[in-house]
Every structure is written in C-alpha cells, then in structure tokens.
Structure 1
C-alpha cells in the first residue's frame, strides 16, 4: 500500500544516512499523548511490521519502542521483525526505577512520568520535543504523570518476561529469535476474540505476577 511504501522509504532514507539502528514507535507508550496532541503516529504493530522488515533487508537493527504491556507483546514484536524491545511502564514499578514510592489506598505505587510530561520538560527534556526554551514560554506536553503498582525487585519482572518469551517460542517451535521471525502468522481478531484471550466469566481473587486484568474481572478495589 502507499502508506507501507512511505514507511519503507523513511527507513531507507535513515539507513542511507548511516544510522547504527532504528527505534520504531511514536505515541504507543502508556503515558504518551503525542498521537492526541500532535496527531502523529502509526499503530505500533503496523509500524514494527513495516519498518523492521525493511531495515532487516538493509542490515540495520531495530528497537520496538512502546505499547508493550505483557511478555506476549514482546513475542509478537520480535516475531514481527524487531531485534529488541524498549520497555518503560513494565519496569517503572520495579524497586530499581527512579520513581518515588507513594501509598494509595493501602497499596504501594511508584511515580511514573513520560519524557513529554510537564514535569520532565521543566527538568530539561523539552528540546527532545523540539520546543524552544524561552523564559516564561508555554510548555506543550506530550505525556502525562501518574503512578504504577510497586512490583518489587527488577529480577522478578525479568524472570517473568523471559519465561513468557521462551514459552511463546516453544509453542511455535522456534529454537532462536531468527526462527521466531522467519515466517510468522498473524491473525486479526475481533473484540470477542480479544476478550476470550483473557480470563473471563470469573472474579480474579489473586492475580499472577505476569498478568493484570484489562477488564472488570478483579475485585482488588
């Protein structure tokens, strides 16, 4: 399609400049508002699928940045052609992350803010979003500030992510990452299919460490 060709051309143009790698994704992050504020961005899977395979033909590695909410998303990003993934939200609640711990409704959370949030821009990230620093100038944020549940040590989260990746590779018989991305089959699903992909028709009383319910199936509140 013309849109796919434009994304491929963008990859070729950047690779022609001699870049060492490409980071793919705009506006897919959990705390990013770029797609709403600036109207810019492509659905993350589409961006990864189109850009990463073009870059692979040119021998340039790629990073899928944004939209990763589970280990299954990592499997799909790598199968779509990315060489690696970049995670923010999934690590933000870990003990080693820089956010401060807050207690809300008797539960521990960590503060999490995007580089495009007001707080981060005031701290010096405004140049990243091409905003000229002027005394008294208006900041136009492209991200929000919030909190995420405290998860404990980083190694526990990493073990779950790596375990999920290994499980996904095992299901499709991929002995390595190259095999995972060789000839993947992706299926478009409906909202009904999405719902049945998650636990359903049950009240979750104890969530496992590698899953958070997206629907109102938990009585944790």
Structure 2
C-alpha cells in the first residue's frame, strides 16, 4: 500500500498505524472510536503504530505471487480456477485444516543450522 517511507539504520521502512492506535485516536477523536464521547476523555488505544520494512514495488511482488499460485495449482493437479472449483465441489479435491503444531511439525525442526531454499 502507498505510504510514507523513511530510512532507519540502512533499512527502508514505511509508517504503520493500526486502526485503533493512539495516533489514530488522537487524530480522529470521537469520530469513529469514541462514538459521541466528549473531548477530554481518556483515550484507550487498542492498536499499535510503528514501522514495517518496505517489501518493494508491486511490480516485483506480483510475479512471485503468480508463480506461487502456478506451483500450487501444479501441486493440486489443476490448470485453472474453474477446474479448481469443479474438483472442490465434486469432492475430487479436498483441503484439510491443520493445527499450528502440525504445521511446525511438518517444517524443518531439530536442526542446529539449515539453509532456506
């Protein structure tokens, strides 16, 4: 998303403001979160403000996302979204919901050092 960028310690960062952060509450006041409360009331932040690392241009990110989807479709044995839908609705293709523990167990673990692909 577009935003205000700045450099810190050689890293390009972008400001992040959570929807109910103190920064937003102070700026918007009772327009959204206080719902009619009079000014001067104590503001209780329910979100955070900070900075996130710049991920680059969408022109760099989208090809990676497209290739990831192509690989996922190949892994599932489908060639298109309509074919994916047909197989899901017919029961030929099923997904399962795994727990966080199962995801961790399925990944690399118990190694002292390893290199990500």
Give the TM-score range, shorter chain: 0.5 to 0.7
Residue 178 (1) aligns with residue 85 (2): yes
2:7 to 96, 103, 108: 103
The 5-angstrom pairing of residues 1-221 of structure 1 reads 91=1, 97-98=2-3, 100-124=4-28, 127-129=31-33, 131-174=35-78, 175-176=80-81, 178-179=85-86, 182=89, 183-189=93-99, 191=101, 193-194=103-104, 196-197=106-107, 201-203=113-115
RMSD over aligned Cα, in angstroms? 3.1
**TM-aligned CA deviation for residue 169 of structure 1:** 2.4
Task: Kindly indicate whether the alpha-carbon contact (under 8 Å) linking 1:101 and 1:111 is maintained by their aligned counterparts in 2.
Answer: yes
CA distance, structure 1, for counterparts of residue 30 and residue 71 of structure 2: 40
**TM-aligned CA deviation for residue 119 of structure 1:** 1.3
CA distance, structure 1, for counterparts of residue 59 and residue 25 of structure 2: 30
Gap change, CA 1:128 and 1:135, over 3 Å in 2: closer
CA distance, structure 1, for counterparts of residue 14 and residue 51 of structure 2: 5
When the two structures are superposed, what TM-score results if normalisation uses the length of structure 1? 0.40
Task: Kindly indicate whether the alpha-carbon contact (under 8 Å) linking 2:7 and 2:13 is maintained by their aligned counterparts in 1.
Answer: yes
CA distance, structure 2, for counterparts of residue 130 and residue 181 of structure 1: 44
**TM-aligned CA deviation for residue 109 of structure 1:** 1.0
Aligned residue pair count: 109
